[in-house]
Amino acid sequence: MTKVIMQQADVSLVIFDWDGTVMDSIGRIVSSMQAAARLAKLPVPSDFAVKQIIGISLDPAFDILFPGLSQTQRQQLFNHYRQQYLEYDTTPTPLFNGVEQVLQQLKDKNVKLAVATGKARKGLQRMFAETGLAAYFDTSRCADEAQSKPHPDMLEQILQQLDIPAAQAVMVGDTSHDMKMAQTIAMPRIGITHGVHGRDILSQYAPKAIIDSIPELLKVL
């Protein structure tokens, strides 16, 4: 879909998911989680299984991938995953093509920007520092500051802080978790297919549009 579906004058805020939407980090998340499982002597989840939990907080993700963990196992798994992702896994995590240019164009049009991510605050701050994108965003909410997606708590906090109604905001994300949390509060949403979920899944949540790349966002707004 590339036709204009929302007039930009009606959009005051665009909220982006991070992993799989802004940054192509899916490969590293999958391989780091699998390595962590091996180190913790747990059954190694499939690529598909790990992809389905991308975007939600680690605690509920662990419950889905490794049901019945003890608190000790949970902490060991967390430590292994964090170490793998930050130190040992060398899978590249580039920004998707065109991200910074799109952010700049939206800012030039006085549209506010935010991030709603399953990353913890430390993780997002690290990514902001690595990519240099922090200055584009007016605010952000992370997994350790709100209830996990698909609960709309992150979005509600952002809307309240910026004093913008849901109808004047747009959620952009690559997973059903992103689409569902926006749908719950009747926030317009745009699915993007270069991450975890394809059109068949994203379309189930009645998005205003489904795009294949970040630059297409400017065509549908």
Residues labelled catalytic: 17, 19
Six-digit token string for 176:
């059903």
Six-digit token string for 98:
């065109």
Instruction: Report the distance separating Cα 116 and Cα 158, nearest Å.
Output: 8
| Long-range contact set of residues 108-112: C-beta below 8 Å, sequence gap at least 24 | 109/8, 111/8, 111/11, 111/12, 111/13, 111/14, 112/12, 112/13, 112/14, 112/138, 112/162, 112/164
Instruction: Report the distance separating Cα 63 and Cα 6, nearest Å.
Output: 38
Amino acid at 175: T
